[in-house]
Amino acid sequence: MLLTGLTHSREPTSLTVLLYFLGHLLDQFRSGDPAAVYVLETREIWFVPFVNPDGYIANQALSNKVIRKNRRPTCASSVNGGVDINRNFGIHWSGQFNGCNEEHGGTGPFSEPETQALKKLCEENKFMTAMNFHAFGGMLTHPYNWADKDMLPKEDKQIYREIGDVFGWPKFGPAIATVGYTAYGESDDWMYGSQHIISMSPEVGPESGDFWPGQQLIRGINERNFARTLYVAQKSGLEFKLQAVHTPRGTTTLASSETSKLGELPLGLLDLSIQNAGLATSAGKVLGVAVQGAVRSGAAVPSGGQVAALVFTGGPGAQGAPVTASLRSDILSFQLEAVARRSTSSLRLVVSGALEKREGGRLLQVCVAEARQGQPQAVPACHCGQVALPAASNLVAVTSTSGRETFVLPGIANLGLLCSVAAGAVGTQGTSTSVGSLPASPSVVSLPASPLPFLQKNTAVVAAPVGSSSSGGLQPAGGSPVSPVPIGAPPDESTALWALFAMALTAGGMVICLLTQGFVKHRTSQVARRAPSTTDLERIPALQAQGEVDEDGDPLDHLSIGAKM
């Protein structure tokens, strides 16, 4: 995933939203938030907070802060000169605007160092998604911005529609539908058209705040766009959705002879659809699946060759041999082949009639766990969903679909236990390429209280103009990824000598600090120790203009068009 800000130097909220996302995501990760843990353990996110640093610095010297372009001298007026970086990409580029126009696109495609750098970055990395932040107006713009109508293929149009539904902004679509004009040589168009990246440009901040919103609006703008950005990061991989159809068994014939192992046949048949609405195949060769709500609480594990439930892959009418689901308490578990991007895996779950939950309304809860590459036991977090089903004793055909997925860490209670069982299903046969049977009591996988116990409280994390935060390790101030130290491993002799040497250096440094502290100016309150806080963001130069107070910070009613993307 690629996140960029400050392409246009008079749009500082495009910078603060990006920096806030980075800082808050790390804070959430440290506190053990399941969604943050999942994203930082499974996604690679690249941050480019200052696409146009020269223009931003130039604005600090102006009272009106109107500079939009980079600082290439293209006009007699230094304020009006420059190249619009967002008109300099190599797709439908146009040279129709002169050097003093704020949409001047340069002497040719990729004539500017800023666009050359982004081009190189995109070509060297396989980004699934990109968010190029702009301001203002509460709009989500996507390709093709050079066209006067929506020209996207049906499937990609649906992907953008799903993202737009989560953003919840009334203005959504290509530039002609949001800002009211077409744009040539635009970044999203090139990233999508040339690199097949699902790229978009959120125009953050309310109309009342203009380009330089008042301090009282900044916090709300940053906070509301955190969840939107996190969703796009999640969608870059598996996005889990659940659909369940529960129908009376009636006279339905179950083709397999394996059904005799159930003993008593159930009153109803449960058809599940495990949908991947995301942009990449689920990680690993298999998913671990755990289902709660199909078996009554307190059900005993079958004996004498009988089984709790059978799983038929392929959904209704499937002719293949079923596999046995394992039972732990009232939770069924099994493996499922990895689900490809934008696809659905269908299966039929047939529960023993002796164990079937029949009375009262039922809440069916399902968690799926992905295996990390080469680490089948390392499940960062589960994707979970739930649907309501009618009582089996009064069964009619009902289709239920879950809402947004919930992320859950493995644990010992409630959904945490369900996730642990799903994680155990992955770990049992992590190298299998097909659905397989599991032992009756899969192992419980748990995470440490701090997802990265080796990341100490005062570790400095820096975001360079072009940098990354990935599952391969956070980048400390020194530059190399932080690597975990094996817990409990006995130190060898060289390690012990190095440890003594480091302790001696530390002691010497402490003595020097004590001797010189009278000459040191304390600036603790001015420095972000690890990641930018909201207070730090509010100190960004020139974010002091007074704007109309808006409680929500986002446009609530009709939007006027004030910004150029």
Positions marked catalytic:
203
Nearest of 223, 264, 272, 281 to residue 246 by alpha carbon: 272
Structure tokens at 23: 């800082």
Contact residues for 329 (Cβ-Cβ < 8 A; gap 6+)? 297, 298, 299
Q: Is 170 exposed, middle or buried (0-12, 13-18, 19+ CB in 10 A)?
A: middle
Q: How far apart are CA 432 and CA 248, in angstroms?
A: 33
Structure tokens at 383: 């994707």
User: What DSSP character marks residue 521?
Assistant: P
Q: Count CB-CB contacts under 10 A for residue 2.
A: 23
Query: What would the DSSP string read from start to end of 13-44?
Result: HHHHHHHHHHHHHHHHHHTT-HHHHHHHHH--
Helix/strand/coil (H, E, C) string of 315-352?
CCCCCCCCEEEEEECCEEEEEEECCCCCEEEEEEEEEC
Structure tokens at 488: 């409990």
Instruction: Please identify which residue in the block is written with the tokens 């600036």.
Output: 523
Q: How far apart are CA 370 and CA 280, in angstroms?
A: 13
Are 362 and 475 within 8 A, CB to CB?
Answer: no
